[in-house]
A and B are shown apart, each in its own frame.
Chain A
């Protein structure tokens, strides 16, 4: 295979997604992500939380602050915040659950 940089657009990707029968309208609730933490507690994510973004820094109000890098597959790095507990293991993306 010839490896090349892939350029695409949102419209192009959505065309394939819609052709596969995925209804964007019913899965567009981007304002309410929830995450299941390793201790099984569930917390609400900020509205601008980018699930697979590069090093998205976000704060879970009042408790935790992490750097995430799913792209590079590194562990979550403790950064700052009022931590009552530190999780050393990467949070598996599969733990993300869609908002109800």
Chain B
């Protein structure tokens, strides 16, 4: 058994879901395009959860008409957390993808670079990895162009500082690890 860590994380949802989530915990649907596989998704940065709630791509991820933010405490043993912010884990996952793809290829799944295929393959891979490693949570960083990042006067110079803002997301595979939930303003 490893070290127990408690994370504070933020989830955007519609106001109509808040009462049941706070009372009965999260329930997630299996979807084939979830980027880290099936699970409950959180941001570690509250402002990103707020941004997501306001700009949720409704067709894929459900409708948020009246955004609400839930702050959750998530308690996890390090042994069951795949934290891709760590280089060792990040590289391990990449190697695992090589294994996954080799078997997929043998099964006549061929390379396809359209967005729909990529999303589904990513979901399949992380669901497979979750099963193989018995992990309960995946944490990773994303660097997206769509993030609400302001420009400064000396943007070119600032960009040469090599300072990247990344968004950190958690995908919790087992809701029993979400030990506390409350709505925040």
Give the interface of A toward B (CB within 8 A): 1-4, 6, 8-14, 16-17, 19-22, 24, 27-30, 33, 50-53, 70-71, 93-94, 96-99
Q: Which chain B residues border A4 with CB–CB below 8 Å?
A: 133
Q: Which of A22, A70, A96, A99 contacts B117 (CB 8 A)?
A: A22
Q: Which of A24, A33, A96 contacts B107 (CB 8 A)?
A: A24
Q: Which range contains the number of B residues in contact with the other chain? A: 35 or more
B78–A30 touching, CB < 8 Å: no
Determine the main DSSP class of A at the interface with B: loop
- Once the chains are docked, how many angstroms separate the CA of A33 from the CA of B83? 35
- Once the chains are docked, how many angstroms separate the CA of A27 from the CA of B102? 15
Give the interface of B toward A (CB within 8 A): 32, 78-83, 88-89, 92, 96, 98-113, 117, 120-121, 123-125, 127-128, 131-133, 135
- Once the chains are docked, how many angstroms separate the CA of A50 from the CA of B100? 14
Q: Which chain B residues border A8 with CB–CB below 8 Å?
A: 99-100, 103, 128, 132
Q: How far is the CB of A81 from chain B (nearest CB, A)?
A: 24
Q: Which of B88, B101, B113 contacts A97 (CB 8 A)?
A: B113
Q: How far is the CB of A94 from chain B (nearest CB, A)?
A: 7
- Once the chains are docked, how many angstroms separate the CA of A39 from the CA of B156? 31
B96–A6 touching, CB < 8 Å: yes
List 20 A-B pairs, Cβ < 8 Å: A1-B80, A1-B133, A1-B135, A2-B79, A6-B132, A8-B99, A10-B103, A10-B107, A13-B107, A14-B104, A14-B107, A16-B131, A20-B121, A22-B109, A22-B120, A24-B108, A28-B108, A28-B109, A52-B102, A70-B98
